[in-house]
Chain A
Amino acid sequence: MKLSIKVEPRLETPRMLGIAIPVISLAAALLSGAVFLFFMGVSPFQAYSTIIRSSLGDAYGLSETVVKAIPLAMAAIAVMLSFTMLIWNIGAEGQIFMGAIAAAAAVRYLFVDNHLAMFAIMFAAAGIAGGIWAAIAGYFRARWSVNEIITTLMLNYVAMNLLNYFVYGPWRDPASLGFPMTAPFPDAARLPSFWGTRIHAGLFLAILFPLIFWVILRFTRWGYEIRVMGENPKAAGFAGMSYIKNVVFVMFLSGAIAGIAGMCELSGLQGRLQHGFSGGYGYTAIIVAWLARLHPIAIILVSFLMGVLLVGGETLQIVMRLPLSSMLVLQGLILFFVLGGEFFRKFRIRILSGGATPPIATTSAKEEK
């Protein structure tokens, strides 16, 4: 008997699939990751259990996972905001850099010996710097339809080089023995850490931001505008909403949040500005936002899971001598399967036996329920 496979569009996505698809995608990603690990010459089972144990197995691992999740959650909220409006800010990485540079500048030139005041200054500086960085791309997009994917991406490199300029050049700490880094920040410019771990006060922001934006998107007038503009810009114009103004504003806000994420990382964790300081959080955040289906609360959860992967990955590098890039492959697989999962949300696959077509009466279509 001949079998044929048919792809057909779904008219309605059953609610159950909304949860099943991300879970299955993740499982598929881990499975193919296992194959990949196997070919890298390590036992996938051992590798995965190392990941779990090192990131969730003890208090230290857990705290490190949270430490990674903090900037991720903030940056994911940043990109989520622009994605909701169908503006593709993929420059969170650069905006994180800009926030960090601005915060470092604040410490250098506007130092006040008071925790709260210093925090406020750094917060504002980082927000404004990151915000402007993104708003530039937003303005070009809104005013001249310049593709924001390209501009935000390009600005990432500019920001990175700017950071390098400062840490290699004028801001380099003479006492650093030639390492590209600034002098350690004074105590007043550090965010407090808790429980004797590296978890810092950025944690509150990482939880607060998702909550705030959940409320904004669901319950406020502005949130409603953003959603309408994302769904149908033409209808938004018809309803008197200003697309141009909002594109710029949303990009500003998006960049500001990413910038603040950079500042938290800087003053909460590293305590000085240095070369290569973000480690790709801005890019990983895009994966997080998609995995969370742009839902602010889900972003908290997914960030944590991604933290597990990052911490576990670092351990893998050390314990099993896997190159850093192998973790990037795993991340890439996850994104690939998540986007692939989107396909199954929109289409269904049916396997038909060739020849006789079954009568309709027996194929009751449950999919619409």
Chain B
Amino acid sequence: MDARAPSKPLVRMEKITKRFTGVTANLDVDFDVRPGEVHALLGENGAGKSTLMNILYGLYRPDSGVLTIEGKDVSFSSPRDAIASGIGMVHQHFMLIPSQTVWENMILGLEGLSSVLPKRAIRERILELSSRYGLSVDPDAKIWQLSIGEQQRVAILQMLYRRAKILVLDEPTAVLTPQEAEHLFVTVRQMTSEGHGIVFISHKMDEVMGLSHRVTILRKGRLVGTVDTASTTKEKLAEMMIGQKMIFSIEKKELQPGKPVIECASVCALGDRGIPAVSRATFMIREQEILGVAGVAGNGQQELCETLVGLRKVESGAIRVNNEELTNSIPKTFIDKGIHYIPADRKGTGLVPNMNVSENSILKRYWSRAVSKKGFIDWKEVFSFARGLVSRYNVSTPSMETPVRNLSGGNLQKLMLGRELSDSPIAILAVHPTWGLDVAATKFVREQLLAAREAGCAVLLVSEDLDELLAMSDRLAVMCKGEIMGILDSPAETPVEAIGLMMAGTPAEEALASAPRGGGKS
């Protein structure tokens, strides 16, 4: 069923304007969603994508503009109203209740339930929906037991359960593995074939080109235009987004790695649930090199990084930094040594959402002599440091006093990256450093990591984006179930199939033997 071109839109937004203190997030934006289409929303970090969709979802009220559903003006004062009108949204940082089960989360906030919960009926409905849309999930599992990809399925199911006709997905693939993303696209296609309308926000051009029917581009809160995907190219879209041509390629210098900075010998650690998360990890990272870590998310990458900065107990094994044994030292020791860590969980771990930009900018250097003297913090210095960070890393924020919870997803990220990359670290542990960043920012961050490498820094790069890993890494470690399956010395020449096999748990020798030699991506 292809009911795109002439059909009437399910929802139409006209001349939407939304201002926050100090910024205009949306200015006279028009947007609509037709039945059976995937409408992609593109724009740089802070362009106003999430804001526009939050208005559609009833979270914000616009300063001006009209929202119409099937020709009738509507006004939402809460997501509840939006859902009642068939609009659902899965947020960039969506929230489920970790201690409750999938089916309990499903009915969260639903009105008009009988006081005795019809658990059977609810479960049946979940199972029916999940088989129809390929969203397999166990209704009785507790949320905390699920991977982030599974949690996202629950969040989508939650919306389908509420009979959403229009589903907004705000950067859904940022946290997914390529396989999980493929899976999601199958679900999306199933929904559009049934006449649902999907709004798809992503910074990944390939996904946008592959999945969407139309693309709307925002720049600095304004509408640049809406185009048919079939009649455009990646380059054109990027140009509309940024306002100028953009070169995608990055340049990586040939460098001779120096002496080891971090050495790990047989490190074992437990995960949050008390089961082994890292087993016998042995590797080293040298000066002037990037060690990539490939693997499906949740296979111990994050736990491994945490042991390397003292945030997780090492059960056995040893960690040495510049030949000094630091196993199970406190985090401050690692920070003082110059090991910087970019955690995946930005809002929860890397930043303090309720504190402002300048306060967050010194989270890891508040004791340094530059900003504090005799126990007192010199807020003037902090301000100028924060201002420098914001301008160097192009963080768009109304002011240094803005609480960081008000920054857009990508800008949060840039602020944190800037903080971790300054102060000339000796090693950087970067977990998904380009999650949620727009193309320009992604390129910028990669360049910064390469620059750090040139400056002699040892870099550990955890990512699920194999292209990124192959382009950036000097060596590549592949992790599966907490074990390092092997470390490839020339990842770019290894067949991708072999890496895939290793990610699935095949030891390196076996994987290399079974995959056809031939180099590069085949």
For A232, list chain B residues within 8 Å (CB): 348, 351-354
Tell me, in angstroms, the Cα distance from A11 to B61 when the chains sit together. 10
Number of residues of chain A lying within 8 A (CB) of chain B: 35
Main secondary structure of the interface of A (DSSP, over half): mixed
- The reply to whether A235 and B331 contact each other, CB–CB distance below 8 Å, is no
Contact A357 B75 (CB under 8 A): yes
C-alpha gap A220/B73 in the complex (Å): 53
Instruction: Select the residue from A227, A235, A364, A365 with max chain B CB neighbours within 10 A.
Output: A235
B20 at the interface (CB under 8 A from A): yes
With A219-B379, A221-B375, A360-B67 already in contact, the answer to whether A240 and B332 are too (CB < 8 A) is yes
Measured CB to CB, the residues of B under 8 A from A are: 19-21, 59-67, 73-75, 77-78, 311, 330-332, 334-336, 341, 343, 348-355, 359, 362-364, 366-367, 372, 375-377, 379, 406
Closest to B54 in A: A11
Most B CB contacts (10 A, CB to CB) among A8, A231, A239, A242 go to: A239
Additional pairs, 9, CB under 8 Å, beyond known A6-B77, A238-B350, A363-B75:
A6-B78, A8-B78, A219-B377, A224-B366, A228-B363, A242-B330, A357-B73, A361-B64, A369-B21
Inter-chain CA distance A242–B332, complex, in Å, is 9
C-alpha spacing A124/B375, complex, angstroms: 24
Shortest beta-carbon distance from A221 to chain B in Å: 5
The reply to whether A350 and B77 form a contact with Cβ atoms under 8 Å apart is yes
Chain A contacts to B: CB under 8 angstroms: 6, 8-9, 11-12, 219-222, 224-225, 227-228, 231-232, 234-235, 237-242, 350, 352, 357-361, 363-365, 368-369
Q: Mind listing 17 A-B residue pairs with CB under 8 Å? A: A11-B59, A220-B375, A221-B377, A224-B362, A231-B352, A234-B349, A235-B349, A235-B351, A235-B363, A239-B366, A240-B330, A240-B335, A358-B75, A359-B66, A360-B64, A360-B73, A363-B75
Q: How far is the CB of A238 from chain B (nearest CB, A)?
A: 5
- Whether B61 pairs with A363 at a CB distance below 8 angstroms is yes
What separation, in Å, do the CA atoms of A237 and B309 have in the docked complex? 11
Residues of A within 8 A of B353 (CB): 231-232
Please pick, from A231, A234, A358, A368, the residue contacting B355 in the complex, using a CB distance under 8 A: A231
Check if A365 sits within 8 Å of B62, measured CB to CB. yes
CB contacts (< 8 Å) of A368 on chain B: these are 19-21, 60
In the complex, how many angstroms separate the beta carbon of A85 from the nearest chain B beta carbon?
Answer: 13
Instruction: State the CA gap A365–B379 with chains docked (Å).
Output: 34
The contact of B74 among A9, A231, A234, A357, by CB within 8 Å, is A357
Report the minimal beta-carbon distance from B48 to chain A, rounded to whole angstroms.
14
Are B377 and A360 closer than 8 Å at their CB atoms? no
The answer, among B61, B330, B343, B372, for a CB contact under 8 Å with A365, is B61
- Closest Cβ of chain B to A249, distance in Å, is 14
Residues of A within 8 A of B343 (CB): 238
**Alpha-carbon separation in the docked complex, A352 to B61 (Å):** 15
B351 proximity list for chain A (CB < 8 A): 232, 235
- The residue from B335, B359, B375 contacting A222, defined by CB atoms under 8 A apart: B375
Cα distance, A12 to B25, chains bound together (Å):
15
Contact partner of B348 (CB less than 8 A), chosen from A219, A234, A241, A361, is: A234
Distance in angstroms from A321 CB to nearest chain B CB is 47
Asked, given contacts A235-B349, A368-B19, whether A219 binds B376 with beta carbons under 8 Å apart, the answer is yes
